[in-house]
């Protein structure tokens, strides 16, 4: 960890409009997650549980930015590019909604009419990025308080080529950061392919700093770019601090309990103190949303697991900060505490979502909490000042015995409260099928796989990973209702198959026969003794999930008691299965919910083409609106000065789910 003197202490208060206390006080949506600390919450109250059934389409904007092509459900063809996937969430900047398309074009549309106001097309070679994507933009208010000044409100746009640019929120014209035209995150990294290091998620903002990680390609090699987290001063464009997720020079004895001898060796070596790089390759990265607590001057980052995902014999303790929530000091990047949700992660169970900050009043006083959803289906509730769990977390023994050269941690942390959202009430069969023959085929595949529960390590014969690297929960994150002390979480209940192949069997033309149905990826994982195959679904010959439904749920968690107050199926099998098999409740989902002060939860995310409204207190479905294709970002909601409240979703499909691509930005509002 390296630091540089910063003016953040003097200037933090100037961030007034978009980065903290003001966020969430108005019924608007200035940041991708609503607030700097996550939560996906709006104070809007015009749309209520009583009138939500009157929502109708108000306007639709189409950008034209989408691409048909191969997807994971229909089977990948090497000669076809992947279809586009739209995962973006718009923000409200003045009278405009601003969003990025799958091709990284930034567009602004009038929030009341959907009429396009401006667009900006970056100079990016899309051929360098097999699955182009952008999850959104953010905004920053320049401290010079002049409403007529150009570049007063600046859209901060992350680009796939690992650059950050600024655009005037009113006109879309480029804005410099002091004398710097753009921030280039490739500086300080060792040579790499463009697609190995990309920026998909908007940075966090603290005062005049942006804090950002980046997305590092999975399962390519041990030598992929560093997962360094960096803070830049927006007034100058200069690096203020950087933090590399590598072990500290000294590790407390109680943190060595799960480590092998190599960790002691690495811990004794001094950490690099070279600010600005060169950064150490192959470290855990921070690809999801970062949270900010301005009052505590804290930055909370969710880390991924160290590359590659399914073999860790080479890591020698370098995954000390992997799959963790890490609290950093805002003006220096110094580690305050970290909490690891998976030890020696060889499942791709990286922490996928924004740490969600909340405050609740209990018998013991006010608790400053942090909720972290995970791919394992666990929700960790922590004290965000100390990192300690609010409810006991038990280190439970887990399956042992992985491939030669690696090891499996003896135990994994399991929260006592809330219960796992993967564990549904009642008995669950191991396999399911649309027909008797379908189910029999699933059972035959499972007999040949290794499966001993959610922490079954990858194996030579092939292992069922249930949940999968998609979750459980994924990057969409939870929504918070601070009035009702509820955390709303969507969960996916499907598995994938992972197989490790010895290096000599990694030739795709001569390697062993597939061990499961459906298309799979074969990834090199260079630098290790194995490559891997990943089936992105544990599916039958008909393409239906082999796990029993529901394949998706939505749940409400009481943040005071830690109890799951309700859990209901989310979505249906419509648009995934042929008629008459539309009746199955609970569909695969990628995306997240939002909540409103009136007691509503809005969510799309599912493989059926709907956005839905639920009663936040009970989980009752109150309304659904049909979409032209699926939506896998967040819905947002806002009220304009005329009192009209809108619900907006970006519907563009997803290659991993095999849902059709599209370019529809759709707004709903109440009709008489």
Tell me the pLDDT tens digit for each residue of 601-659.
999 999 999 999 999 999 999 999 999 999 999 999 999 999 999 999 999 999 888 89
Instruction: Give the pLDDT of residue 69.
Output: 82
- With cut-offs at 50, 70 and 90, classify the pLDDT of residue 580: confident
Q: Are 91 and 106 in contact (CB under 8 A)?
A: no
Instruction: Give the pLDDT of residue 426.
Output: 77
Number of domains observed in the structure of the chain: 1
The CB-side HSE value for 156 (13 A sphere, CA atoms) comes to 28
Task: Please say if the pLDDT value at position 217 is more than 90.
Answer: yes
Instruction: Give the pLDDT of residue 509.
Output: 72
- With cut-offs at 50, 70 and 90, classify the pLDDT of residue 72: confident
CA pair distance 426, 557, nearest whole angstrom? 19
- With cut-offs at 50, 70 and 90, classify the pLDDT of residue 104: very high
Instruction: Give the pLDDT of residue 346.
Output: 97
Q: Are 199 and 158 in contact (CB under 8 A)?
A: yes
Helix, strand, coil share of the chain (percent; to 5) = 5, 35, 60
Instruction: Give the pLDDT of residue 82.
Output: 85
Task: Please say if the pLDDT value at position 668 is more than 60.
Answer: yes
Instruction: Give the pLDDT of residue 259.
Output: 39
Task: Please say if the pLDDT value at position 118 is more than 90.
Answer: yes
- With cut-offs at 50, 70 and 90, classify the pLDDT of residue 274: low
Instruction: Give the pLDDT of residue 77.
Output: 60
- With cut-offs at 50, 70 and 90, classify the pLDDT of residue 238: very high
CA pair distance 613, 621, nearest whole angstrom? 6
Domain that holds residue 353: 2-670
Beta strands across the sheet bearing 204-206: 2-3, 239-243, 229-233, 209-212, 204-206
CATH number of the domain where residue 153 is located: 2.140.10.10
Strand partners, 569: 553
- What does the block give as tokens for 386? 């100390």
Instruction: Give the pLDDT of residue 265.
Output: 38
Instruction: Give the pLDDT of residue 76.
Output: 66
Residues 6+ apart with CB under 8 A from 10: none
The model's pLDDT over 497-556, given as tens digits with 9 standing for 90+, comes to: 999 999 999 986 777 899 999 888 899 999 999 999 999 889 998 888 999 999 999 999
CB environment 374-399: b (16+ within 10 A), e (fewer): bbbbbbbbbebbebebbeebeeeebb
Q: Are 576 and 106 in contact (CB under 8 A)?
A: no
Instruction: Give the pLDDT of residue 147.
Output: 65
- In terms of Cα–Cα distance, which of 475, 600, 656, 528 is closest to 221? 528
Instruction: Give the pLDDT of residue 79.
Output: 66
H/E stretch holding 157: strand 153-158
Instruction: Map 431-460 to HEC letters.
Output: CCCCCHHHHHHHHHHHHCCECCCCCCCCEC
CA pair distance 311, 219, nearest whole angstrom? 9
H/E stretch holding 277: none
Q: What is the pTM of this model?
A: 0.93
Quote the percentage of the chain above a pLDDT of 90. Answer: 79
Mean pLDDT (whole number) for 568-589: 91
Task: Please say if the pLDDT value at position 310 is more than 70.
Answer: yes
Q: How far is CA 304 from CA 285, 288, 289, 389, in A?
A: 5, 9, 12, 20
CA pair distance 490, 523, nearest whole angstrom? 29
The model's pLDDT over 393-409, given as tens digits with 9 standing for 90+, comes to: 999 999 999 999 999 99
Mean pLDDT (whole number) for 340-344: 97
- What does the block give as tokens for 369? 């909490």
Instruction: Give the pLDDT of residue 148.
Output: 66
Mean pLDDT (whole number) for 410-415: 97
CA pair distance 523, 487, nearest whole angstrom? 36
Mean pLDDT (whole number) for 20-47: 80
Task: Please say if the pLDDT value at position 272 is more than 60.
Answer: no
Instruction: Give the pLDDT of residue 373.
Output: 98
Mean pLDDT (whole number) for 251-263: 40
- Of 319, 348, 481, 575, the catalytic one is 348
Rg, C-alpha atoms of the chain: 23
Active-site annotation holds for 383: no
The model's pLDDT over 83-102, given as tens digits with 9 standing for 90+, comes to: 889 999 999 999 999 999 99
- With cut-offs at 50, 70 and 90, classify the pLDDT of residue 113: very high
- With cut-offs at 50, 70 and 90, classify the pLDDT of residue 270: very low
Taking the CA atoms of 559, 563, 566 and 569 in sequence, report the sign of the dihedral they define: positive
Query: Rounded mean pLDDT of the chain?
Result: 90
Task: Please say if the pLDDT value at position 290 is more than 60.
Answer: yes
Task: Please say if the pLDDT value at position 261 is more than 50.
Answer: no
Mean pLDDT (whole number) for 459-463: 97
Length of the chain: 672
């Amino acid at each position: 960890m390296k630091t540089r003197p910063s003016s953040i202490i003097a200037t933090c208060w100037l961030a007034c409009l978009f980065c903290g206390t003001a966020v969430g006080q108005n019924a608007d949506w200035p940041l991708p997650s609503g607030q700097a600390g996550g939560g996906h919450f709006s104070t809007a109250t015009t749309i209520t549980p009583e009138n939500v059934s009157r929502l109708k389409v108000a306007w639709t904007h189409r950008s034209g930015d989408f691409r048909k092509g191969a997807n994971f459900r229909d089977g990948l063809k090497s000669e076809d590019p992947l279809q586009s996937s739209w995962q973006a969430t718009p923000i409200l900047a003045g009278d405009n909604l601003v969003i990025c398309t799958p091709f990284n074009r930034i567009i602004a549309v009038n929030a009341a009419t959907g009429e396009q106001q401006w667009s900006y097309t970056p100079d990016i070679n899309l051929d360098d990025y097999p699955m182009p994507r952008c999850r959104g933009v953010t905004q920053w208010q320049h401290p010079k308080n002049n409403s007529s000044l150009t570049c007063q409100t600046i859209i901060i746009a992350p680009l796939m080529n690992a650059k950050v640019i600024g655009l005037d929120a009113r006109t879309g014209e480029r804005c410099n950061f002091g004398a710097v035209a753009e921030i280039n995150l490739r500086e300080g990294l060792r040579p790499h392919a463009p697609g190995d290091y990309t920026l998909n998620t908007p940075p966090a903002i603290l005062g005049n700093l942006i804090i950002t990680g980046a997305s590092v390609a999975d399962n390519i090699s041990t030598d992929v770019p560093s997962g360094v987290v960096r803070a830049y001063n927006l007034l100058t464009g200069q690096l203020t601090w950087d933090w590399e997720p590598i072990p500290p020079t000294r590790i407390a004895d109680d943190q060595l309990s799960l480590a092998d001898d190599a960790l002691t060796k690495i811990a004794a070596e001094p950490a690099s103190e070279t600010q600005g790089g060169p950064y150490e390759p192959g470290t855990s990265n921070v690809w999801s949303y970062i949270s900010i607590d301005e009052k505590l001057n804290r930055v909370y980052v969710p880390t991924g697991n160290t590359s590659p995902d399914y073999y860790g014999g080479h890591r020698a303790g370098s995954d000390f900060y992997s799959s963790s929530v890490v609290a950093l000091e805002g003006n220096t990047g110094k580690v305050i505490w970290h909490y690891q949700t998976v030890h020696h992660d060889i499942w791709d169970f990286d922490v996928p979502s924004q740490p969600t900050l909340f405050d609740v009043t209990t018998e013991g006083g006010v608790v400053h909490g942090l909720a972290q959803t995970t791919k394992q289906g666990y929700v960790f509730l922590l004290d965000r000042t100390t990192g300690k769990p609010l409810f006991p977390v038990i280190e439970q023994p887990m399956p042992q015995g992985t491939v030669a050269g690696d090891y499996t941690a003896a135990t994994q942390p399991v929260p006592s409260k809330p219960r796992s959202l993967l564990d549904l009430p009642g008995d669950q069969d191991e396999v399911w099928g649309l027909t008797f023959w379908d189910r029999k085929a699933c059972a035959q595949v499972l007999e040949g796989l290794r499966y001993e529960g959610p922490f079954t390590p990858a194996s030579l014969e092939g292992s069922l990973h249930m949940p999968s690297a998609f979750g459980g929960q994924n990057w969409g994150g939870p929504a918070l209702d601070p009035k009702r002390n509820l955390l709303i979480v969507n969960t996916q209940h499907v598995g994938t198959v992972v197989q490790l192949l010895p290096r000599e069997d990694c030739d795709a033309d001569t390697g062993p026969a597939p061990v499961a149905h459906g298309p799979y990826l074969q990834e090199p994982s260079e630098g290790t003794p194995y490559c891997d195959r990943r089936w992105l679904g544990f599916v039958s010959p008909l393409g239906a999930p082999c796990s029993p439904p529901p394949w998706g749920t939505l749940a409400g968690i009481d943040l005071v008691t830690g109890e799951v107050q309700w859990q209901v199926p989310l979505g249906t099998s419509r648009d995934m299965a042929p008629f008459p098999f539309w009746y199955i409740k609970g569909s695969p989902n990628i995306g997240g919910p939002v909540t409103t002060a009136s007691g509503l939860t809005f969510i799309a995310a599912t493989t059926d083409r709907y956005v839905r409204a639920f009663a936040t207190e009970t989980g009752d479905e109150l309304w659904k609106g049909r979409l032209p294709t699926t939506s896998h970002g967040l819905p947002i909601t806002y009220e304009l000065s005329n009192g009209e409240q809108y619900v907006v979703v970006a519907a563009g499909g997803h290659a991993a789910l095999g849902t059709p691509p599209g370019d529809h930005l759709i707004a709903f509002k109440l009709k008489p």
